[in-house]
Homo-oligomer: A and B are copies of this chain.
Amino acid sequence: MYEGAVQELIDELGRLPGVGPKSAQRIAFHILEADPEDMKRLSDAIRAVKERVKFCSICFNVSEQETCAICRDPRRDETVLCVVEESKDVMAVERTRSFRGRYHVLGGSINPIAGIGPDQLHIRELLNRLSDDRIEEIIIATDPNLEGEATATYLARMLKTIGIKVTRLASGLPVGGDLEYADEVTLGRAFEGRRSLIG
C-alpha cells in the first residue's frame, strides 16, 4: 500500500507477536517521525540481542556470557533448583525476591499438539545436573495451565526414581483477588491446599 520502505517496515513489524496491522502502521509512522538517534538505538538493540545474547550452558537462561549471572553468583544456593519454562519466568521469580536458589530453564512445556515432547526440552540436561550437583530439592514452577501441569507431572514421575525432593508451586487464590470471581478449578485448588492458621 505504501511506497517501498514504509510498507516493508509495516510488514516486518506486523510479524511481531501482539502487533496487528493497525499497531504496525502506528509504530512505523512513529519510527518515521522519531529522532533518528533513538531509532538507530532501536535498530542496533535488535541487532545486538541477536549477536550478543546466548543461552547459559548450565541452566539455559539468557546470558551474554557462557554462563548466566545467576549461575555465576556464588551466593546462590546450589542445593535448590527451580525449574521453569522460559527465561521470562526466571525474571518473574527473581522479582519476588523470595528464592535464593538456582534455575533450570526447560525452553517450553510438553505440548503434543505443537509437537513438543520431552526430547525438545532441556530435560536431559536437567538430569545431568542432578548427577553432578549437590541438589536437594527441585521446585517445579511450570505454568499452572494444561501444558505446564503435564510437564510438571512428567518431571515428578521421572524424578521420583532418583529419590530427590520434588515440590510444585502452590495453586490457589491470587492475592488481592476476589473469591467470587475465582474460577472453580482455582477455588478447588485453594480448598485442597488450605493451611492451618491455629494449632
Task: Report A's interface with B, CB cutoff 8 A.
Answer: 1-6, 8-9, 11-13, 15-19, 23, 25-32, 36, 38-50, 52-53, 62-64, 68-69, 86-88, 91, 94-95
- Return A41 CB to nearest CB of chain B, in Å: 6
If A3-B69, A32-B62 touch, whether A9 touches B88 (CB-CB below 8 Å) is no
7 pairs of residues in contact across A and B, judged by CB atoms under 8 Å: A1-B95, A3-B62, A3-B64, A6-B49, A8-B45, A9-B45, A29-B88
Q: Are A23 and B30 in contact (CB under 8 A)?
A: no
If A2-B62, A8-B45, A45-B8 touch, whether A39 touches B30 (CB-CB below 8 Å) is no
If A30-B16, A30-B17, A64-B5 touch, whether A43 touches B46 (CB-CB below 8 Å) is yes
Q: How far is the CA of A64 from the CA of B6 in the complex (A)?
A: 9
Q: Are B42 and A5 in contact (CB under 8 A)?
A: no
Given contacts A1-B95, A3-B63, A5-B45, 17 further A-B contacts (CB under 8 A): A3-B69, A5-B48, A5-B52, A6-B53, A9-B46, A12-B38, A15-B38, A16-B27, A17-B27, A18-B23, A18-B26, A28-B49, A29-B87, A31-B46, A31-B49, A42-B46, A43-B44
| Chain B contacts for A16, CB-based, 8 A | 27, 30-31, 42
Q: How far is the CA of A11 from the CA of B47 in the complex (A)?
A: 14
Q: How many copies does the complex hold?
A: 2
Q: Are B53 and A5 in contact (CB under 8 A)?
A: yes
Closest B residue to A3 using CB positions: B64
Which of A12, A40, A52 has the most chain B CB atoms closer than 10 A to its own CB?
A: A12
| Chain B contacts for A25, CB-based, 8 A | 88, 91
| Chain B contacts for A36, CB-based, 8 A | 50
Q: Are B48 and A9 in contact (CB under 8 A)?
A: yes
Q: How far is the CA of A1 from the CA of B38 in the complex (A)?
A: 21
| Chain B contacts for A39, CB-based, 8 A | 46-47, 49-50
